[in-house]
C-alpha cells in the first residue's frame, strides 16, 4: 500500500489564483522523494495540503488508504510531521523544550511529558547533533542550529512521514550535508518516508529515491533522479541552460550551470 | 531577547509547577493581609486574620473596616491584576509578541467606551459589563484586522493600530463624558484606573468571571507554547489553531472588559507581570499562566496599597502607579525587540 496517495488534487488561493492543478502521484512507504521546481510552482503549497494546513478545492489525499479528512489533527500529527520554513521566535524556550513539544500529539490533554517522552527528545537531539545546546534558549541559536532543533522536534513526533520545506535554506554546505545525511539515515534505517522540497538539484539527486518536478502547479515529471533531471527538462521548466553529467564518485546525476 | 535564568534551564515538571503556585499563593495571602491592615486606621494583621476567620476579640469598628471597606477593595485589586495579567499573557502568546497588552492594544479603551455608553444609557448592573465586553471585543477584532497582512501580524502595525484605535475610543469616551457632565469628575477619576469605588457587589460580579475564564484558558496552556513557536508548527503538532485563537481572544476580551467596567483603565499590568514571570519562571505557559495570575494579583494589590497610602489622605489612581512602572518597562522591551 502507498504511504500517501494524491489524486486529482487542486488548490487555489481565494478560489481565484490556481496554485495546484489536478496533481496525482503516490509516495511509497520508506521512500525519499524530493519535490523540485521553480519558485511559485506549488511545492510548499503541496506540503501544506499534505498536512491539512490548507484544504484542497478538489481531489483527494489518502494516508495509508484512509482519507486525510477523516483523521483528527492530533492523529495526523502522530503520523505526519511537517518542518515549515522557520520564523523568528520571540520567547526563550530552550532547545530541549522545543524538541519535547514534538511529543505533544502523544501526550493526553494537560499531562506533562513523562520519562519516555524525555528519552525520545534526548535521542532526537543526539541524532541531530544539538544535544550540547539542550539548555540554550532557541532565541540565541544560529539559523542552522534552529533548523536542526525543529527537525529534531518533528522526529520526536515519531511520524511515518516527514515533510520538509527546504531543510537547507539557512545552512552552509557542511550543515546541508549533515541534515540530508541524518534524514537519509532515518529514512534507510527506520523506514521513515520523506518528502522534501528542495532548491538544490544536486542534493535532491544524491539523496532521493525519486524526484518530482513541479511546473506551474502540475507534475512535469516524476521518477528516478537520472530520468527526471535532464538538461532538456531543466531548460523547459527552469528556463536555464545546465550541463547534466554523472558524478565521478557516486555516479548519480550532477547538474552544473553552463556559465 | 530574554535570558534563561537559573530557575529555567530544564523542562517544566508538575512538581515545579506545584511548588511555584504554592509559593505565590502564600505570598498573595501575606500581601493581602498586609494591604488590609494598612490604612488611615492601622489594624494589626493578627486582628485582620481573626476578623476574616470570624473569631472573637474584634471590635465592631474593626470588623466594619476589614470586611466592609478594605476586603472588597483588596479582592477587587487581586481580580483586576490577575485578569489583566492573564489577558496580556494570552495576547502575547497568540500574537507572538511580548509587547501585546490590553491597554497598549486599545482593548481597555474599547471597554471604557462600552462602559460609559452603558452608564449613559443606564443599562444597569449587568448591562454595563456586557457593554464593556462588547467594546473590548470590538477593538480586538479591529486591531487584529488592521494589523494583519497576508496572515502575518506585523509588530509595528499592531502597536500603531492599537494606539490609534485606542485613541479613537478615547475620543468616544471624552464625548460621552461631555454628555454626562454631572458625573464628570467621578468618571474622570474612574478613567485613570481607580479601585476606590470598590464594593462587595462589583467584586462579586467580576471575581467569578476572572477566575473561571483564567481556569478555562489554562487548558490551552500547552497549545500556547506551540502557537508561540509558529501557527503552522502548532497546527502540524495537532493544535486546532483557529479555534484556540478565537476562543482565547474572546475570553481575553471578556476578562479585559469586565475588569475595565469596575476599575477603569489600569495600564501596563498585562505587560509588566508576564514579562517578569517569563524572566523568572521561563516561557512554558503551563507555569506562566497560573504564575501570572497570582503575581498579577500580588502586583496590583501592592500598587493599590501604594496608591492609597503614598500621599494619604489623598489617593492617587492606581493606574498612575502602574503606568509609572509599566511605561519604562515597555520602552525597555521595545528597544530589545
Q: What is the ipTM of this complex?
A: 0.91
Residue B6 has pLDDT above 50, yes or no: no
Residue A163 has pLDDT above 50, yes or no: yes
* pLDDT score recorded for residue B86: 97
Mean pLDDT, rounded, for A197-212: 92
Q: Do B229 and A137 touch (CB under 8 A)?
A: no
The DSSP call for residue A84 is: P
* pLDDT score recorded for residue A152: 95
* pLDDT score recorded for residue A14: 78
With a CB cutoff of 8 Å and minimum separation 6, the contacts of A192 are: A30, A159, A160, A161, A162, A183, A186
A215 band by pLDDT with thresholds 50, 70 and 90: very high
B2 band by pLDDT with thresholds 50, 70 and 90: very low
Distance (Å) from the alpha carbon of A39 to chain B's nearest alpha carbon: 18
Query: Grid coordinates representing B49?
Result: 486574620
Residue A15 has pLDDT above 80, yes or no: no
A256 band by pLDDT with thresholds 50, 70 and 90: confident
Q: Which domains can be identified in chain A, with CATH numbers?
A: 4-88+160-257 (3.40.50.300)
Which residue's C-alpha cell is 500517501? A4
SS3 track for chain B: CCCCCCCCCCCCCHHHHHHHHHHHHHHHHHHHHHHHHCCCCCCCHHHHHHHHHCCCCCCHHHHHHHHHHHHHHHHHHHHHHHHHHHHHHHHHHHHCCCCCCCCCCCHHHHHHHHHHHHHHCCCHHHHHHHHHHHHHHHHHHHHHHHHEECCEECHHHHHHHHHHHHHHHHHHHHHHHHHCHHHHHHHHHHHCCCCCCCCHHHHHHHHHHHHHHHHHHHCCHHHHHHHCCCHHHHHHCCCCHHHHHHHHHHHHHHHHHHHHHHHCCCCCHHHHHHHHHHHHHCCCHHHHHHHHHHHHHHHHHHHHHHHHHCCCCCCCCHHHHHHHHHHHHHHHHHHHC
B187 band by pLDDT with thresholds 50, 70 and 90: low
H or E element in which residue A35 lies: strand A32-36
Q: What is the mean pLDDT of chain A?
A: 90
Choose, out of A91, A111, A149, the residue to mutate when testing the contact with B (most B CBs < 10 Å): A91
Q: Do A90 and B278 touch (CB under 8 A)?
A: no
Residues from chain B contacting residue A135 (CB–CB below 8 Å): 4, 9-10
Q: Considering all CA atoms of chain B, what is the largest pairwise distance in Å, rounded to the nearest integer?
A: 67
Q: What is the pLDDT of residues B26-37, one digit of tens each?
A: 999 999 999 999
Residue B7 has pLDDT above 80, yes or no: no
Number of Cβ within 10 Å of residue A19's Cβ equals: 20
Query: Grid coordinates representing B337?
Result: 525587540
* pLDDT score recorded for residue A65: 86
Distance (Å) from the alpha carbon of B158 to chain A's nearest alpha carbon: 15
* pLDDT score recorded for residue B186: 67
Query: Do A193 and A14 contact (CB within 8 A), yes or no?
Result: no
* pLDDT score recorded for residue A20: 93
Half-sphere exposure of A137 (CA within 13 A, CB side): 20
Question: Which range, A237-246, B260-269, B283-292, is most confident?
Answer: B283-292
Mean pLDDT, rounded, for A197-201: 90
Among the partner-chain residues B96, B97, B232, the one whose CB lies closest to the CB of A53 is B232
B5 band by pLDDT with thresholds 50, 70 and 90: very low
> For residue A42, which of A62, A61, A56, A63 has the smallest C-alpha distance?
A56
Mean pLDDT, rounded, for B99-125: 85
* pLDDT score recorded for residue B192: 67
Q: Do B236 and A86 touch (CB under 8 A)?
A: no
Q: Do B237 and A53 touch (CB under 8 A)?
A: no
* pLDDT score recorded for residue B181: 63
Q: Is B108 exposed, middle or buried (0-12, 13-18, 19+ CB in 10 A)?
A: buried
Which residue's C-alpha cell is 523568572? B280
Mean pLDDT, rounded, for A26-33: 95
Residue A88 has pLDDT above 80, yes or no: no
Distance CA(B230)–CA(B213), nearest Å, equals 24
Residue A64 has pLDDT above 60, yes or no: yes
B4 band by pLDDT with thresholds 50, 70 and 90: very low
Distance CA(B75)–CA(B61), nearest Å, equals 20
Query: Grid coordinates representing B81?
Result: 491584576
B3 band by pLDDT with thresholds 50, 70 and 90: very low
A89 interfacial to chain B (CB closer than 8 Å): yes
Among the partner-chain residues B13, B14, B236, the one whose CB lies closest to the CB of A82 is B236
Residue B44 has pLDDT above 50, yes or no: yes
Which residue's C-alpha cell is 487542486? A10
Residue B190 has pLDDT above 70, yes or no: no
Mean pLDDT, rounded, for B275-303: 95
Interface of B with A (CB under 8 A): 1-4, 8-14, 93, 96-98, 219, 221-222, 225-226, 228-230, 232-233, 235-240, 278, 282-284, 286, 337
B200 band by pLDDT with thresholds 50, 70 and 90: confident
Distance (Å) from the alpha carbon of B284 to chain A's nearest alpha carbon: 7
Residue A48 has pLDDT above 90, yes or no: yes
B184 band by pLDDT with thresholds 50, 70 and 90: low
Pick one of 3.40.1080.10, 3.40.47.10, 1.10.3470.10, 3.40.50.720 as the CATH number of B14-336: 1.10.3470.10
Q: What is the pLDDT of residues B144-175, one digit of tens each?
A: 888 887 767 777 888 889 989 999 998 998 88
Residues from chain A contacting residue B238 (CB–CB below 8 Å): 72-78, 104-105
Amino acid at each position: 500500500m502507498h504511504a500517501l496517495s494524491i489524486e486529482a488534487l487542486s488548490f487555489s488561493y481565494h478560489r481565484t489564483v490556481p496554485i495546484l492543478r489536478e496533481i496525482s502521484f503516490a509516495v511509497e512507504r520508506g521512500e525519499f522523494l524530493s519535490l523540485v521546481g521553480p519558485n511559485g510552482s506549488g511545492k510548499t503549497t503541496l506540503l501544506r495540503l499534505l498536512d491539512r494546513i490548507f484544504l484542497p478545492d478538489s481531489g483527494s489525499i489518502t494516508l495509508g488508504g484512509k482519507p486525510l479528512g477523516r483523521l483528527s489533527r492530533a492523529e495526523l500529527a502522530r503520523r505526519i510531521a511537517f518542518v515549515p520554513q522557520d520564523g523568528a521566535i520571540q520567547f526563550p524556550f530552550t532547545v530541549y523544550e522545543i524538541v519535547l513539544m514534538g511529543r505533544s500529539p502523544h501526550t493526553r490533554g494537560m499531562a506533562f511529558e513523562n520519562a519516555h517522552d524525555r528519552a525520545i527528545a534526548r535521542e532526537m537531539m543526539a541524532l541531530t547533533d544539538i544535544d550540547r545546546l539542550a539548555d540554550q534558549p532557541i532565541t540565541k541559536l544560529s539559523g542552522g542550529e534552529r533548523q536542526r532543533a525543529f527537525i529534531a522536534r518533528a522526529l520526536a513526533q515519531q511520524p511515518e512521514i516527514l515533510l520538509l520545506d527546504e531543510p537547507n535554506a539557512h545552512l552552509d554546505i557542511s550543515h546541508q550535508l549533515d541534515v540530508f545525511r541524518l534524514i537519509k539515515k532515518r529514512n534507510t534505517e527506520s523506514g521513515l518516508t520523506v518528502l522534501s522540497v528542495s532548491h538544490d538539484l544536486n542534493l535532491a539527486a544524491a539523496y532521493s529515491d525519486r524526484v518530482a518536478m513541479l511546473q506551474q502547479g502540475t507534475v512535469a515529471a516524476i521518477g528516478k533522479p537520472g530520468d527526471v533531471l535532464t538538461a532538456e527538462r531543466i531548460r523547459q521548466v527552469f528556463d536555464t541552460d545546465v550541463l547534466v553529467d554523472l558524478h565521478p564518485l557516486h555516479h548519480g546525476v550532477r547538474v552544473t550551470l553552463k556559465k | 531577547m530574554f535570558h534563561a535564568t537559573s530557575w529555567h534551564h530544564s523542562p517544566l515538571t508538575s512538581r515545579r509547577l506545584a511548588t511555584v503556585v504554592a509559593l505565590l499563593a502564600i505570598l498573595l495571602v501575606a500581601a493581602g493581609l498586609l494591604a488590609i491592615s494598612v490604612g488611615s486606621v492601622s489594624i494589626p494583621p493578627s486582628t485582620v486574620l481573626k476578623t476574616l476567620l470570624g473569631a472573637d476579640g474584634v471590635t465592631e469598628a474593626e470588623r466594619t473596616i476589614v470586611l466592609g471597606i478594605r476586603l472588597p477593595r483588596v479582592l477587587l485589586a487581586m481580580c483586576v491584576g490577575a485578569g489583566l495579567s492573564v489577558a496580556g499573557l494570552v495576547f502575547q502568546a497568540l500574537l507572538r509578541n511580548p509587547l501585546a497588552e490590553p491597554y497598549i492594544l486599545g482593548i481597555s479603551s474599547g471597554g471604557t467606551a462600552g462602559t460609559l455608553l452603558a452608564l449613559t444609557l443606564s443599562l444597569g448592573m449587568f448591562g454595563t459589563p456586557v457593554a464593556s465586553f462588547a467594546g473590548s471585543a470590538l477593538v480586538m477584532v479591529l486591531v487584529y484586522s488592521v494589523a494583519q497582512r497576508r496572515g502575518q501580524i506585523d509588530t509595528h502595525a499592531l502597536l500603531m493600530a492599537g494606539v490609534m484605535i485606542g485613541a479613537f475610543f478615547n475620543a468616544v469616551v471624552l464625548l460621552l463624558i461631555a454628555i454626562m457632565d454631572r458625573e464628570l469628575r467621578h468618571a474622570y477619576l474612574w478613567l485613570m484606573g481607580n479601585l476606590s469605588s470598590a464594593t462587595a457587589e462589583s467584586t462579586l460580579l467580576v471575581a467569578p468571571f476572572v477566575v473561571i475564564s483564567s481556569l478555562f484558558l489554562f487548558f490551552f496552556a500547552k497549545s500556547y507554547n506551540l502557537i508561540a513557536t509558529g501557527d503552522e508548527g502548532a497546527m502540524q503538532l495537532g493544535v486546532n489553531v483557529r479555534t484556540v485563537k478565537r476562543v482565547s481572544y474572546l475570553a481575553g476580551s471578556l476578562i479585559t472588559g469586565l475588569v475595565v467596567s469596575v476599575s477603569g483603565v489600569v495600564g501596563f499590568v498585562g505587560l509588566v507581570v508576564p514579562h517578569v514571570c517569563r524572566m523568572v519562571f521561563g516561557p512554558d505557559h503551563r507555569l506562566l499562566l497560573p504564575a501570572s495570575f497570582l503575581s498579577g494579583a500580588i502586583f496590583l494589590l501592592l500598587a493599590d496599597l501604594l496608591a492609597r497610602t503614598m500621599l494619604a489622605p489623598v489617593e492617587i489612581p492606581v493606574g498612575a502607579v502602574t503606568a509609572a512602572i509599566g511605561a519604562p518597562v515597555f520602552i525597555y522591551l521595545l528597544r530589545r525587540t
